[in-house]
Structure 1
Amino acid sequence: MIILAFVYIFLGFVLLMFVNLGLLRKKKDKVKDVDDKSSQEPVLMTSGPAQHPFTSQTRTPADAISDTGVQDFNTLQILIVLMLGAFVSILNQTLDNVAIPHMMLDFNVSASTIQWIVTGYMLVNGVLIPITAYLMESVGSRKLVFVAMISFTLGSLVCAISPTFPVFMTGRIIQGIGAGILMPLLTNVFLAIFPPHQRGKALGTMGIVMVFAPAIGPTLGGWVVQTYSWRLLFSALVPIGALDLFLAVIWMKDVLKLTFPRFDVWGAVFSTIGLGSLLYGVSEAGNKGWGSMEVILFLTVGIFAILLFIRREFTVDSPMLNLRVYKYRAFTLTIIINAVVTTVMYAAMMLLPIYLQNIRGFTPLQSGFLLLPGALLMGIMGPIAGAVFDLIGLRVLAVVGMTITAIATWEFTKLTNATMYDNILLLYTIRSLGVSLIMMPLMTAGLNELPRHLNSHGTAMFNTMRQVSGSLGTAILVTIMSTRTTIHFATYSSTITSLNPSILVQLNNFISHLGLSPQTGRILGLQEIYGLVSEQATIQGINDSFIVATVLAIIGLIPALFIRKAVASKSDPA
């Protein structure tokens, strides 16, 4: 029955995607013809299909042929290929969250190490996204989809059969390469198809993919882990990836204009070394401490490489990532808020399964069901928030959304070993409502601020910052949890040893009544007490991480107050 339910959910998602796309293309233009001509030029095409009816039979007319030589293509088929690929890549990002405690046991690794499953995958995404901007203009969308789906499918297979954690992480990196290509490619195609005044609802529809996958991910993952094995989470992705690859072979065309820019080799080197070193240093701080020479070395190298990357991108003729997009005020504000929201969102998805399963003893399926209502709400609110943005702009949505997110995150700082399951579910759902109000409108507002010739760089920047902030933010908050847990454990242990000998006596007497010797009773009593101490220390460590997340959410509220009421799309100078 559960499998059948998820089949119906998936089919409902596909139907909803088709309905939304069809409605978007049937909507009549309300702007003047002269505005249509200027606004509907695609980001990377000579002319675009946005001004033509959009149905399953839509073919690109002769006046919309790109410089790649393609005579015509079916827009809907291309979007299906890209959205299905994006769906499974995002699903994979959240599918294994509830399996993290089981992986910790199977691979015998700590929380600081296991978080590389999430942060390593996101970091590879972040490094690949700006490089993908170059690849889209040099290789073509058809070949990129082939590479992405082959990489993602192969990586899933490696993860499924991995005997050790290093082999598993190799598979995650291969997966991340594919996912890092798909998302910016999908976004650029959407920007090419839809004019600025329709992008709020259009990107809201794309947001269905971005939040529907996390909606079913934790619940489906929990059921699989509880019923079968976490390895099935990855082996099941192989046939889906193969299906999308098959659809790409028969449907995908090169729809983006090829300009063949020069590849910024040093920019790619500096960004990869910088981001990789920073993430490794932050992650290892949880195991080795912030004062470790290894941690300090990697953090220093990372910061230095990032500074070199910034200098390089401002001086080179063909930058890998054009940082001049930051001179546009609204874009910069939305990037800051986007980084904060992503950090806060992914941190909770990492911390809550540890609390629910390792501390409270809930099953993976119960953990998944707790996250399901909030994720479904985000899927429902995506198009709605996009439509509201088209009417009133970003500022109200951003202020209300960040306020709700900050308040709900603060409530997670009060977790105990007796917090009711229903209360956690309600808080997570309310928190998801706040995130859903701002997630997709942020990208729409930021990209509408940019001239069209910078849209591809703006898209790359948004996706890069989302992945980097998610990976670094998760690593930092998990490191804080591990560090604070160690401190709390030491504090509680010293208190018990020095001040509460009566507790040990009472436990010894109690266990002796069970027919055990006093010596055995004392040993078992100590084990019981230190088990409770470890549990309480971990809860306090998680609470401390949520305190930091709350502060970040409040910081994100500040730039939201300075956003203009509405952000209009810019046009390139004549």
Structure 2
Amino acid sequence: MSSSSVAPSKASSRERWLALIAIITGAFVAVLNNSLINVAIPSLTTDLGSTQDTIQWVLTGYMLASGVIVPIVGFMEERIGYKKFLLVALAVFTIGTFFCAIAWNDMSLIAFRIITGLGGGIIGPLSMTVIYKIMPREQISVALSLWGVSAMVAPAIGPTLSGYLIEWFNWRFLFIVCIPFGILAFIAVSFLLKAPEKAAPKPFDALGFFLAATFAGTLLYALSSGQKAGWGSFEIIGLFFISFWALVFLIYVEANTEHPVIELSLFKNFTFMVSTIISSLVMVGMMGAMFIMPLFLQNIQRMGPIDTGLLMMPQAICMAVMMPIAGKLFNKTGPIPLGMIGLTLMAFTTYKLAFMTPDTMHNWMIPVLMLRGIGTGLCMMPISTAGMNAVAPHLVGKASSISNLIRAVASSMSIAVFTLIMQKRTTLHLGEITDSISIESTQLAQSQYGTNWSSSLSSVVQLEAAYRGMTDVFYVAAMTLFICIPLVLIFKKKKKPQAQETSDV
């Protein structure tokens, strides 16, 4: 076995796959929990007698908690072992979810969501690390693909399930349905996952963790709040200032620390660095469509949350089907063919979505979204797996933390940037359409709408400007994905012998 591969645990093949199911269950419920809440903000605001600004912290608090805890995952996995740490994360997540279900007001719900976020933020990167620790090298790509299904399917079914639960029950069931999965995952991990050999304890890099948490927390909060507070406001500029200098000091401290929380030497590994860059760009392109598509369906085509989720469900099913297939093919083909085909499908279908109008038929949208799901399933995990496979075994935990943190920042940044683009382009289109209104158009509106012609014409103009602004975002997202296609070839051009490559780290 090469030095870049991770030695699997001594458990039998059956035990490893059962443990994998337990790990996937934990990862699935962590993602599902957050996706359920996204469409429930109006109900939470009304039922808890809160305000939109306050209740938004149910999402923001979870995001910040899960972001700031990620840098410590690699260290704690080495310090106490991946089994104990995963059990702690599942326990924190499940207990936090239980208290969310019985929250008595908005502030208690926000506090418990922050606790839940600490557990959820650990589960994602740690579960990826555990897969590398317990699975043989030839099975890692398939295992990661199955693990990736949970990350892709949960956000797809979340809005639909959330709509049903709120309509037929109440918001507390958004948390109640997650509790059995959390308990099941905890019990399964307890019995099925073998504890690793105890490693020698290493000193905790407290300063590095503080700087990493400060960098991640201030950056994520600035990206999530910039649109509302104003990108030029003192608050947002101050957050970016703190984040920048926290990153500068973090790089300096970690470069001169014997046991750093953030292993900067990983970026000397060319394959890992390229994989992280491409994965982040793919995340940006993917999030552009995932963010805009529900807005288009609900705000432009006036669909409800449940119908929106059902329309987008086939895309998630295609992702779920293709990911294990891509995992099987990865061992034979490597990342280049899968990445090229998958990214081409993603880029082309995202570009096609830019041609949607308020009258676009759903029987046209669904096949396009399904092809997009196939492309996503083909390329996402092979690109990520190629980078992780190039990392030395003892650095897998820290590599997983870094890649997950970078993808989280890329996701938040993409939503912030695409929101800004959508609003700027909508304003531009609104001005263009208003200037193009002729006397004949005004007279036609008067004859059609009578005394309400002015407000009716204004609504039509605003709807036209809004959908044009949204479709412009699809162009930008598609361009990001098209840029990624030739970058995949770098894996081949810069490929080194594994022993030589891992010597860099």
TM range (shorter): 0.7 to 0.9
Residues 256, 87 of structure 1: CA spacing in aligned structure 2 closer, same or farther, 3 A cutoff?
A: farther
Assess if the C-alpha contact under 8 Å between 1:117 and 1:169 holds in 2: yes
- State the secondary structure of the residue aligned to 2:124: helix
- State the secondary structure of the residue aligned to 1:391: helix
Q: CA deviation at 1:281?
A: 2.7
Work out whether 1:437 is the aligned partner of 2:378. Answer: yes
Q: 2:402 aligns with which of 461, 466, 474?
A: 461
Q: Distance in 1 between matches of 2:474 and 2:135?
A: 39
- Aligned-residue identity in percent: 32
Assess if the C-alpha contact under 8 Å between 1:412 and 1:546 holds in 2: yes
Q: 1:544 aligns with which of 461, 472, 477?
A: 472
Alignment of 1:99-178 (within 5 A): 99=40, 109=52, 121-157=62-98, 159-160=100-101, 169-178=110-119
Q: CA deviation at 1:447?
A: 1.7
Q: Distance in 2 between matches of 1:237 and 1:377?
A: 24
Q: Which residue of structure 2 lines up, in the alignment, with residue 242 of structure 1? A: 183
Q: Which residue of structure 1 lines up, in the alignment, with residue 264 of structure 2? A: 323
- State the secondary structure of the residue aligned to 1:263: coil
Normalised TM-score (structure 1) = 0.77
Of stretches 270-279 and 311-320 in structure 1, the one that deviates more from structure 2 is 270-279
Q: 1:88 aligns with which of 26, 29, 40?
A: 29
Residues 532, 243 of structure 1: CA spacing in aligned structure 2 closer, same or farther, 3 A cutoff?
A: same
Q: Distance in 1 between matches of 2:498 and 2:158?
A: 35
Q: CA deviation at 1:161?
A: 5.8
Tell me which amino acid in the other structure corresponds to 2:373: S
Q: 1:495 aligns with which of 435, 448, 473?
A: 435
The number of residues matched between the two structures is 499
Q: CA deviation at 1:405?
A: 1.4
Q: Distance in 2 between matches of 1:356 and 1:102?
A: 20
Q: CA deviation at 1:331?
A: 1.2
Q: Which residue of structure 2 lines up, in the alignment, with residue 530 of structure 1? A: 458
- State the secondary structure of the residue aligned to 1:348: helix
Residues 509, 419 of structure 1: CA spacing in aligned structure 2 closer, same or farther, 3 A cutoff?
A: closer
Residues 39, 304 of structure 1: CA spacing in aligned structure 2 closer, same or farther, 3 A cutoff?
A: closer
Work out whether 1:194 is the aligned partner of 2:135. Answer: yes
Assess if the C-alpha contact under 8 Å between 2:79 and 2:199 holds in 1: yes
Assess if the C-alpha contact under 8 Å between 1:211 and 1:376 holds in 2: no
Alignment of 1:259-338 (within 5 A): 259-338=200-279
Gaps of 5+ in 1: 1-34, 43-47, 57-74, 513-520
Alignment of 1:345-424 (within 5 A): 345-424=286-365
- State the secondary structure of the residue aligned to 2:13: coil
Tell me which amino acid in the other structure corresponds to 1:332: M
- Which structure: larger Rg? 1
Q: CA deviation at 1:204?
A: 2.4
Q: 2:390 aligns with which of 434, 444, 449?
A: 449
Assess if the C-alpha contact under 8 Å between 2:82 and 2:130 holds in 1: no
Residues 170, 212 of structure 1: CA spacing in aligned structure 2 closer, same or farther, 3 A cutoff?
A: same
Gaps of 5+ in 2: none
Q: CA deviation at 1:527?
A: 2.9
Q: CA deviation at 1:337?
A: 1.0
Normalised TM-score (structure 2) = 0.86
Q: CA deviation at 1:231?
A: 4.6
Q: Deviations over 1:423-450 (max 9, x none)?
A: 2222221112111112111222112212
Residues 479, 123 of structure 1: CA spacing in aligned structure 2 closer, same or farther, 3 A cutoff?
A: farther
Tell me which amino acid in the other structure corresponds to 1:323: L
Q: Deviations over 1:100-126 (max 9, x none)?
A: 67678886649xx99877676455434
Residues 99, 274 of structure 1: CA spacing in aligned structure 2 closer, same or farther, 3 A cutoff?
A: same
Q: Distance in 2 between matches of 1:466 and 1:562?
A: 20
Q: Which residue of structure 1 lines up, in the alignment, with residue 149 of structure 2? A: 208
Q: CA deviation at 1:98?
A: 5.1
Of stretches 224-233 and 183-192 in structure 1, the one that deviates more from structure 2 is 224-233
Q: Deviations over 1:182-234 (max 9, x none)?
A: 12222222212223233222322333333343453344334334544455323
Q: CA deviation at 1:367?
A: 0.9
Q: Distance in 2 between matches of 1:168 and 1:490?
A: 42
Q: Which residue of structure 1 lines up, in the alignment, with residue 484 of structure 2? A: 556
Q: Distance in 2 between matches of 1:159 and 1:556?
A: 40
Q: Distance in 1 between matches of 2:352 and 2:104?
A: 40
Q: Distance in 2 between matches of 1:163 and 1:353?
A: 31
Q: Which residue of structure 2 lines up, in the alignment, with residue 217 of structure 1? A: 158
Q: Distance in 2 between matches of 1:82 and 1:425?
A: 31
Bigger RCO (CA 8 Å, 6+ sep): 2
Q: Distance in 1 between matches of 2:319 and 2:66?
A: 22
Assess if the C-alpha contact under 8 Å between 2:214 and 2:246 holds in 1: yes
Assess if the C-alpha contact under 8 Å between 2:149 and 2:323 holds in 1: yes
